[in-house]
Amino acid sequence: MAETMKAAVLHAIEDMRIDEVPKPQITAPDEVLLRITSVGICGSDIHFLKHGRIGNIILEKPTIMGHESAGEVVEVGSAVTTLKPGDLVAIEPGKTCRRCEFCKSGHYNLCRDVVFLAAPPVDGAFCEYLVWPEDFVFKMPEGMTADEGGMMEPLSVGLHAVRLAGVRGGDSVAVLGAGPIGLTAMMSARAHGATTVIVTDLVQPRLDNARRMGATHVVNVGECDPVEAILDLTAGRGVDAALDCVGSELTIQQALRVACNRGAVQLVGNPQELMPQFPVFEIINRELTVRGTFRYVNCYPPAIALAAAGAVDVKSMVTHHFPLDETVEAMRWVDANKDKVIKAVIHP
């Protein structure tokens, strides 16, 4: 009988169980066997639990959730040269074909053959062991923790968004939404030299977190018009870059209106609406640059470097801890307590 391990498996909507599943084995020379030690609970995990799908990615068979992961190297394949047993590593959750035009041009996040952890039917990291290619496993520096390793995934999202928006030293930036991605985008903007970073949200504790972690201004959208507030804070000019980390039709419209003439609008959050409406004339008349953000590319090494240097603080974003056996309860608790948690992690 094959060795088994525990895993949090999503069988159907609102039906997640802790199952015994086969323990993975190295089958290719470039693969690494990892003992998972920290996995963040992402909003996408909760969305799959509640709705069984995100866009055109649909749960059709039992799938292990979790993709914000870190762990310890247990075994390496014969061709692995950069890692050894005992290394603490961050795991980039998307492996690509490495052959298509997007992979070869450095835009591997757009590879059509990407295999992404916890995107059904691909199993994720809410489990005890995982096998993954060396190319997408990154050794953590001495002194960093597994929790920080797992946080490299949301940090990479924020970092990629800021890079795409072209944020430079002295820029002003608005970040709409103070969830984990909004916070990593805010910290990445500060690390890139932005001197004014305005964060908006409905939930005051989230805004308090943003202020503590480096936002120069926070705006509670339940108390005032965020567009007017941001324009007031920038003397009517608007910001060089507006990053929508919510994804609602309303926040997309707000981002377009607070960007300065010829400014950048970066769409980071995934909208619930299939075809959200937004003011096209705002884009045309003010020559705005509007871009999408799909995950990240070539961001794990710089994200690790920023965290190791103290330029971003992901450690304090981890606010709650749960064992693997309590994954189901943890996900439901996080969903019901968004004002109390920044990032909860599972420890298999």
Mean pLDDT, residues 55-67: 95
CA–CA dist 222, 103 (Å, integer): 43
The average confidence (pLDDT) of the chain is 96
Mean pLDDT, residues 221-238: 98
Whether the pLDDT of residue 240 is over 90: the answer is yes
**CA 243 centroid distance within chain:** 14
Residue 326 belongs to a domain? yes
CA–CA dist 346, 348 (Å, integer): 6
Whether the pLDDT of residue 137 is over 50: the answer is yes
- 170 lies in the same domain as 276: yes
**Paired tokens of 5:** 């391990």
Whether the pLDDT of residue 1 is over 70: the answer is no
Position 27 scores a pLDDT of 97
Residue 297 belongs to a domain? no
- 231 lies in the same domain as 319: no
In this prediction, residue 110 has a pLDDT band, given cuts at 50, 70 and 90, of very high
- 249 lies in the same domain as 165: yes
Give the contacts of 284 (CB within 8 A, at least 6 positions apart).
Answer: none
Range of the domain at 175: 155-292
Amino acid present at 157: V
Instruction: Say how many C-beta atoms besides its own lie within 10 A of residue 46's C-beta.
Output: 15
Residue 236 belongs to a domain? yes
Annotate 66-75 with b (16+ C-beta within 10 A) or e (fewer).
Answer: bbbbbbbbbb
- 10 lies in the same domain as 34: yes
- 186 lies in the same domain as 265: yes
pLDDT single digits (tens) 114-132: 999 999 999 999 999 999 9
CATH number, position 287 = 3.40.50.720
CA–CA dist 113, 6 (Å, integer): 28
Residue 303 belongs to a domain? no
- 10 lies in the same domain as 147: yes
Give the contacts of 183 (CB within 8 A, at least 6 positions apart).
Answer: 158, 209, 210, 213, 317, 342
- 8 lies in the same domain as 115: yes
CATH number, position 41 = 3.90.180.10
Residue 329 belongs to a domain? yes
- 18 lies in the same domain as 141: yes
| H or E element in which residue 209 lies | helix 204-212
- 106 lies in the same domain as 191: no
Whether the pLDDT of residue 272 is over 80: the answer is no
Least reliable range by pLDDT among 22-26, 253-257, 270-274: 270-274
CA–CA dist 301, 86 (Å, integer): 19
Mean pLDDT, residues 284-299: 97
Position 278 scores a pLDDT of 85
In this prediction, residue 317 has a pLDDT band, given cuts at 50, 70 and 90, of very high
Task: Please state whether the peptide bond connecting residue 121 to the residue before it is cis, i.e. omega within 30 degrees of 0.
Answer: yes
Query: DSSP letters along 236-290, please?
Result: TS-EEEEEE-S--HHHHHHHHHHEEEEEEEEE-SPPSSSS----HHHHHHTT-EE
Question: What is the chain's alpha carbon radius of gyration, rounded to the nearest angstrom?
Answer: 20
Residue 304 belongs to a domain? no
Annotate 104-115 with b (16+ C-beta within 10 A) or e (fewer).
Answer: eeeebbebeebe
- 105 lies in the same domain as 179: no
Position 2 scores a pLDDT of 62
Whether the pLDDT of residue 10 is over 80: the answer is yes
Whether the pLDDT of residue 216 is over 70: the answer is yes
Residue 225 belongs to a domain? yes
**Paired tokens of 287:** 């020559």
- 79 lies in the same domain as 116: yes
Mean pLDDT, residues 31-56: 95
For the chain, how many structural domains are there in total? 2
Residue 143 belongs to a domain? yes
CA–CA dist 308, 141 (Å, integer): 7
Position 55 scores a pLDDT of 82
pLDDT single digits (tens) 140-154: 999 999 999 999 999
- 46 lies in the same domain as 107: yes
